[in-house]
Amino acid sequence: MDKELFRTIVKVEKAESLIEVDSGVMFMGSCFASNIGQYLAGNRFPALINPYGVLYNPMSISMAFQGIMNIRTVKESELVNLNGLWHSFNHHGSFSNPDPECVVSSINKATDYAHKFLKSAGFLFVTFGTANVYALREGDKVVANCHKFPDSLFNRYLLNVDEIVDEWKELMVQLRVFNPMLNVVFTVSPVRHWRDGAHGNQVSKATLLLAIHKLATLFEKVWYFPAYEIVLDELRDYRFYDPEMLQPNSQAVEYIWRRFTESHFSEQARLFCREVDKIIRARNHRPSGHNLPAHKLFLQQMLELTQSLAQRYPSALLEQDSVFFQEALSDF
């Protein structure tokens, strides 16, 4: 180890299967999965991020996959009402609405789209946030979101390793049948669930880590990416957290994203990211206004780059960039 670094470095092995521009990556789980997914989508890769909204525990994430694979439709009779809003206990609050028909329609559309995306996806990125679950006292059914219903309606308990492994062993078989080409990358969210206390948070994370380790030994094309360890060991400083000191900040997420691309992206995909970065910077560039011919030439070059990338990578999501530069040129 280079002692000049003054820190430990988490070694991340190169993945056996690497993400290409056309792989198609689905992200499911905690808000950390959303953060990494947004980086991928922002780099114009085909990605689907939490179609049911943010989900934290392994049981709720498993139920979401089962609903997606089986195209399970939601009915109005399954919704619950609180303070004028209709909710689904299996879905995020972003689906909640005063109109129950709107809730049902938006959930079922999300299910249909996610089914098609997962069927052809090359990679699945799953992030477990906590091993604690909430279950309705009536029926003992685990919920994905309590939607601020009274605590008295729920039992809260900690899953054990065997419960998680047994649930996901069956699910992994179903996923393999549904999409035999799917590669699965597990992570544990580095977001600290402080309401469980310092010890409770660590027990929860340890449970998740042990369950994932077991699953990775049981199935092929299943890997663990150590985002949790990178934050705790490499970025061992509160300057990498948000003001509440619980969630990694944008600087930390960007660093984890960089480590992820180094280990899970093909060289061609990384080259594509560098080219796309030029387009992103160009879109954020604000001309000074005193050299219009030079700016027009700059826009033409960026349009040509965008169109060239779109031709070389048909799956890349570059349509909006092309429209942006075309409209900017039309102003001259």
pLDDT in single tens digits along all 332 residues of the chain: 455 567 789 999 999 999 999 999 999 999 889 999 999 999 999 999 999 999 999 999 999 999 999 999 999 999 999 999 999 999 999 999 999 999 999 999 999 999 999 999 999 999 999 999 999 999 999 999 999 999 999 999 999 999 999 999 999 999 999 999 999 999 999 999 888 899 999 999 999 999 999 999 999 999 999 999 999 999 988 899 888 888 899 999 999 999 999 999 999 999 999 999 999 999 998 877 656 888 899 999 999 999 999 999 999 999 999 999 999 999 88
What pTM did the predictor assign? 0.93
d(CA 201, CA 2): 32
Domains, the chain, ordered by start = 11-265 (3.40.50.1110), 267-332 (no CATH)
Return the pLDDT at 5.
65
> Number of C-alpha atoms within 13 angstroms, CB side, residue 123?
25
Locate tokens 């470095």: which residue? 9
Tokens of 160: 């054990």
Q: What does the DSSP 8-state code read for residue 127?
A: E
Return the pLDDT at 72.
97
The 3 state secondary structure assigned to 267-314 is HHHHHHHHHHHHHHHHHHCCCCCCCHHHHHHHHHHHHHHHHHHHHHCC
Which of 201, 25, 234, 248 lies closest to 121, judged by CA?
25
Return the pLDDT at 87.
98
Concatenated DSSP letters for 4-60? Answer: GG-S-----PPPSS-B-TTS-EEEEESHHHHHHHHHHHHTT--EEE-TT----SHHH
Return the pLDDT at 271.
97
> Number of C-alpha atoms within 13 angstroms, CB side, residue 196?
20
Return the pLDDT at 126.
98
154-158 and 85-87 beta bridge pairing = unpaired
Residues 6+ apart with CB under 8 A from 253: 32, 35, 36, 39
Which of 104, 215, 226 lies closest to 166, judged by CA?
215
- 8 A C-beta contact, residue 53 and residue 95: yes
Return the pLDDT at 331.
84
Return the pLDDT at 28.
98
